[in-house]
Structure 1
Amino acid sequence: MSKFLHTGWHEFLLPVLSCRETTEYLRVWLDMAAVVPMLRELDLAYGDREHPYALDPRQIPQAQAGLLAKVAQHLLDHPGALRRAAASRAFATELADRFAVSPAAGALPYPPFIDQVDLEPHQVEMALPLIIDRALFQAPTADGPAGEGAP
């Protein structure tokens, strides 16, 4: 069973900025092989070797924010790691207008009540440095604000 937890793709809702300077969310998928080391780092930051999980439940939101920051940084450092991306129809239109990001080839259209468009990952990769919400990197960590002993 654990093999399946370490393979395939994992989905995240990554906060990004629209041209209206409001937060939108980009659905991104990464290989679990990239995510597992991030989770292990957080396990040690919020737990210990004998208890590889957040020992204080009040730290769970910080750990979750830390994971999103790690995912964003991983995508900035390794843009080819993005396996799939999707956005709301309005944000997909904005990405098309601003960065020429097109809908994914061969993606099935979603019914109208599902507000989502699959996007071409290699085109989204180019836009990521310009749309990732940098406030994500200011998220508090187990040791205080980002940059002060952050995992």
Structure 2
Amino acid sequence: MAGCPAIAADALARAPRQGQRAQRVERWHKTFKSTALRPAARTSIDDARRVTADFVEHYNARRLHSAIGYIAPNDNFAGREAEIVTERDRKLEAASDLRRRLARQHLCSLAPRLTARRSPSGASMSSPASTAGQCMRQ
């Protein structure tokens, strides 16, 4: 099949009853047109080529694809999926630990006000000092 010299792309031949391939190609073109080509009128063929090259580089090297585990296709193709997932899990665990620590600090800062309340019998429930000590130990 003849290629399109304007964007240096070849038409993809597809086997009978392989409709999903055509759907993927059509979806790619829709995304390309709506995000790169149409937002600003292209003034020259060189401008269109530059925009196309930038979009293809973004689509393959930086954009995270949900179908392949939110990994860029170039990283997936190069076999870096396990490394990326491990690093992502490490970052998520660190963020979770930070949120727990910050929540604990916030609760400890509220402890003196909470412990100053009286029990129904009128006695103080616990002293702020003991509550602060508990917060520091955690």
Q: Normalization by structure 1: what TM-score?
A: 0.27
Q: Which structure ranks higher in relative contact order (CA pairs < 8 Å, sequence separation ≥ 6)?
A: 1
Normalised by the length of structure 2, the TM-score is: 0.29
Higher strand share: 1
Query: Which structure has the larger Rg over C-alpha atoms?
Result: 2
